[in-house]
Amino acid sequence: MTSKIGILYGRKDHWSEEPQGGVYEKDKRGYYNDHKYEGEIENGKPNGNGTWTMGNGAIYVGQFVNGHREGLGTFTWSEYGPKSGTSYEGEWLNNRQHGKGKMIYESDIKDGFEGGVDEGNWIDGEMVIDEWSPEGGKDYTEEELEERVEYYEEKRKKYLADKKD
């Protein structure tokens, strides 16, 4: 079957050319009544390049294979969720971060968080910590190491606090 450009509504494996209830609109809280995909379609599913806007406002722009995020893409979390202002750019496999990528954290002035980037390898949605080797690496002073530990401890605290919400 050949691919076409179009619009689909639905979730993961349940795509339709019509939105739920026949109308695609926001409710009083600002959520859409359905997910919306705009892009290449094959066999009634996203396949190729496209944009998937989720009901809560989160957006994925990138490649799809047989209805799943697969290949290169950028996912930006909704302003309504605990990861508001965070995005992931990189490789995807079966709807999960998988391969090389980076998580980008937006700064938050009221919390004093300067933002940041975690870059590395991902497996099945989780960042993999590569084994550290001192060969060819930077030699940090004791003060620099303490600063790095404090930075990552603060980042972990914020992550865990956001995860509770």
Q: Residue 110 sits in a domain of what CATH number?
A: 2.20.110
Which tops the pLDDT comparison, 155 or 14? 14
Q: Give residue 50's pLDDT.
A: 95
Tell me how far apart the terminal alpha carbons of the chain are, to the nearest angstrom: 44
Q: Kindly state the tokens that stand for 88.
A: 């992931």
- Residue 119 in domain: yes
pLDDT over 50 at 131, yes or no: no
Domain tally, the chain:
1
DSSP-assigned beta bridge partners for residue 45:
42
Long-range contacts of residues 147-154, Cβ cutoff 8 Å, at least 24 apart: none
- Residue 148 in domain: no
- Residue 150 in domain: no
- Residue 151 in domain: no
Residue 12 CA to residue 37 CA, distance in Å, equals 10
- Residue 85 in domain: yes
Q: Kindly state the tokens that stand for 84.
A: 């508001």
Enclosing domain of residue 28: 4-132
Which tops the pLDDT comparison, 151 or 93? 93
> What tens digit of pLDDT does each residue of 46-103 get?
999 999 998 888 999 999 999 999 999 999 999 887 788 899 999 999 999 999 999 9
Residue 1 CA to residue 45 CA, distance in Å, equals 12
pLDDT band at 161 (very low <50, low <70, confident <90, very high): low
- Residue 68 in domain: yes
DSSP state of 34: S
- Residue 141 in domain: no
pTM of the entire structure? 0.72
